[in-house]
Amino acid sequence: MSTNDRAWVATRKGLFELRRRGGTWAIEHASFLGEPVSMFLPPSPGDSRMLASLTTGHYGTKLHASEDAGRTWAEVATPTYPTQPAGAEGPEWKLVLVWALERAGDTVWAGTLPGGLFRSADFGRSWQLVESLWNRKERLGWFGGGYPVPGIHSICAHPRRTGELLLGISCGGAWTTRDDGQTWALTASGMRANFMPPEMAGDPNIQDAHRIVRCAAAPDTLWCQHHGGIWRSTDNAASWHEITAAPVSSFGFAVAVHPHNPDVAWFVPAEADQRRVPVGAAMIVNRTRDGGATLETLREGLPQRHAYDLVYRHGLAVADDGEGLLMTSTSGGLWASTDAGDRWQTVSLNLPPAAAVRFG
Amino acid sequence: MALISFTPQLQRFTSTPEVQCAAATLREALEAAFGVNPRLRGYVLDDQGHLRANVVCFIDGRRCTERIALADPVRPDSRIYVLQALSGG
């Protein structure tokens, strides 16, 4: 099984497995039909295990694990916050949502609302809150972005250095550990939040980094789709620099970076934060191939009339070959490209509202 | 003995035993049920042990409005229902 030919889409009413056969993507299997799936962890090469996070309307978040690439599932432990001390400031210590799931070696990391990072050494059978981050005083300066409470949506493991992670937080900037979660540093210098009072706009701790991705082959390069535009770092988040060349719009949520070429990245713009629909009701993807010096707008095969789809943070994915792309929207659209976004094919326009798409 | 039972909607996730218990409060009755199926706890209570926002309990036809201590009194012959508040779309 090539990781370029299989993928999953997490939606408000189930987790859908996709296969590409004969060059065409199709929905092949549904898990948890009717249940909201907020995030999942796809299989990795040589390992068929998966995790899926259900956000049930009545009974809270529940995690399920699969040993057979999503054919059968069994409930495992839910990340659970410890007892909240009396008088503790900040949001309630209650799990709202699992927003990110990533594996790094034998560790699985879960980013959550209201801002806690959890780790599991036994693939979800038990979870531990990373208290070194949760107890940082700066956490009380974070606030919600898209939800009433802050959340960790991006977990970028360093592919070569065990124990190094970068987190993206809405709204809490970007944080890095280089000692497996023992200590943390705020690494969002250079980002700017124009929605804040002027004297706070450059505060790294309140940046709304909508999504951060790391280039697997050049891990010092990170791309960020920020609430206020596009930022890039080429020094492993020591500094961030705004990319101002995006045509049409630089507002959006999703970003994907080519796994082998750090200069190639894709974005899915919406009009603006106060009107979160495609500009002119026409779906587009912006792509740079030169590190952000220029971006081009790709439209072929995407709906260009009366399209009101929003692609959320995890709604854009790139395959290992750097050519395959999948994109899914909160209106239930799903599009695929096999040529790095030059042309797109519609896979479905009738999915439930989609939260995430991933190859695996 | 009081009798506590759960919405059948929960059965798609976990077993919902009907439990007879000598409980003096709602929390004691819930704990008796969690003793039979520990996984049930996380479906009914949140991280802090409070009743989940979209779960509702009735004791002898009266809706319990206190959701933190869960100290509503239970009589020896009480009938307790743990149900879901309707929501969704």
- pLDDT above 90 (res B44): yes
User: Residues near B80 by Cβ (< 8 Å), separated by ≥ 6?
Assistant: B2, B3, B4, B5, B26, B29, B57, B58, B59, B74
Question: β-strand A209-214 against A222-226: which pairing, if any?
Answer: antiparallel
Judge contact between A252 and A281, C-beta under 8 A: no
Number of residues that this document lists for chain A: 360
Decide: residue A201, CB within 10 A, 0-12 exposed, 13-18 middle, 19+ buried: middle
B89 part of a folded domain: no
- Residue B40 lies inside a defined structural domain of this protein: yes
Does position B86 have pLDDT exceeding 80, yes or no?
no
User: What's at A243, amino acid-wise?
Assistant: I
CATH no. for residue B46? 3.10.20.30
Please tell me what DSSP assigns to residue A291: T
Cα B32–B34–B38 angle (5° rounding)? Answer: 150
Of A136, A104, A123, A125, whose CA–CA distance to A115 is shortest? A136
Judged by CB atoms closer than 8 Å, whether chains meet at B42 and A59 is answered as: yes
Which residues have C-beta within 8 Å of that of residue B37, sequence separation ≥ 6? B14, B15, B16, B17
The hierarchical CATH code for the domain A104-351 is 2.130.10.10
> Of B14, B47, B84, which has the smallest distance from its Cβ to A58's Cβ?
B84
pLDDT digits (tens, 9 = 90+) for B7-22: 999 999 999 999 999 9
Q: What is the pLDDT of residues A261-309, one digit of tens each?
A: 999 999 999 999 999 999 999 999 999 999 999 999 999 999 999 999 9
B79 belongs to a structural domain: yes
Please state the φ and ψ torsions of residue A351, each to the nearest 5 degrees: -70, 160
Find residue B56's DSSP bridge partners: B83
Asked if omega into A114 is within 30° of 0 (cis), the reply is yes
Report whether B11 contacts A59 (CB < 8 A). no
Q: Minimal Cα–Cα distance from A109 to chain B, Å?
A: 19
Which residues 193-212 of A have a C-beta within 8 angstroms of B? none
Q: Does B11 touch chain A (CB under 8 A)?
A: no
Helices (H), chain A: 131-134
Q: What is the pLDDT of residue B87?
A: 59
List CB contacts of B36: < 8 A, sequence separation 6 or more: B17, B19
Model pLDDT, residue B88: 52
Q: Which range marks the domain in which residue B49 is found?
A: 2-84
What are the structure tokens assigned to B27, written together? 């929390």
What is the nearest CA distance from B21 to chain A, expressed in angstroms? Answer: 23
CB pairs under 8 A between A and B: 47
Contact assessment for residue A150 and residue A169, using Cβ atoms and an 8 Å cutoff:
yes
Q: Which residues of chain A have pLDDT under 50?
A: none
Task: Cite the beta strand spans of B9-51 per DSSP E.
Answer: 19-21
Task: Give the best residue of A13, A31, A33, A58 to mutate against chain B (max B CB count within 10 A).
Answer: A58
User: Is the CB of residue A253 less than 8 Å from the CB of residue A275?
Assistant: no
Mean per-residue pLDDT for B51-77? 96
Q: Is residue B24 part of a domain?
A: yes
* CB proximity B89 to A under 8 Å: no
- Confidence at residue B85, expressed as pLDDT on a 0 to 100 scale: 83
Q: How many domains does chain B have?
A: 1
Give the count of beta carbons closer than 10 Å to the beta carbon of residue A235: 12
State which H helix or E strand residue B36 sits in.
helix B26-36
How far is residue A119's CA from residue A129's CA, in Å, rounded to a whole number?
Answer: 7
Spatial CA neighbour of B50 closest among B71, B21, B73: B71
Question: Do the bridges between strand A354-359 and strand A209-214 make them parallel or antiparallel, or are there none, so unpaired?
Answer: unpaired
Place of tokens 């920020």: A226
What whole-number distance in Å separates Cα of residue A317 and Cα of residue A320? 10
Residue A44 carries which DSSP code?
B
Average pLDDT over chain A reads 97
Prediction ipTM score: 0.92
SS (H, E, C) A136-177: CHHHHHCCCCCCCCCEEEEEEECCCCCCCEEEEEECCEEEEE
Which residues does chain A have within 8 Å of residue B37's beta carbon, measured at their own beta carbons? none
Token pair for A353: 């509202």
Question: What residues are paired with A85 via a beta bridge?
Answer: none
Report the alpha-carbon distance of residue B9 to residue A144 in Å, rounded: 32
Cβ separation of A56 and B9 shorter than 8 Å? no
Between CA A251 and CA A73 the distance in angstroms is 37
Q: Are A325 and A319 in contact (CB under 8 A)?
A: yes
User: Which of A223, A186, A221 is CA-nearest to residue A207?
Assistant: A186
Of A57, A75, A93, the CB nearest to B87: A57
Please give the Cα distance from B46 to A169 (Å, whole number). Answer: 23
- Note the pTM of the prediction, 2 decimals: 0.96
Q: Report the chain A residue with the minimal C-alpha distance to residue B51.
A: A59
Dihedrals phi, psi of B75, to nearest 5 degrees: -90, 165
Chain B residues within an 8 Å CB radius of A58: 9, 52, 54-55, 84-85, 87
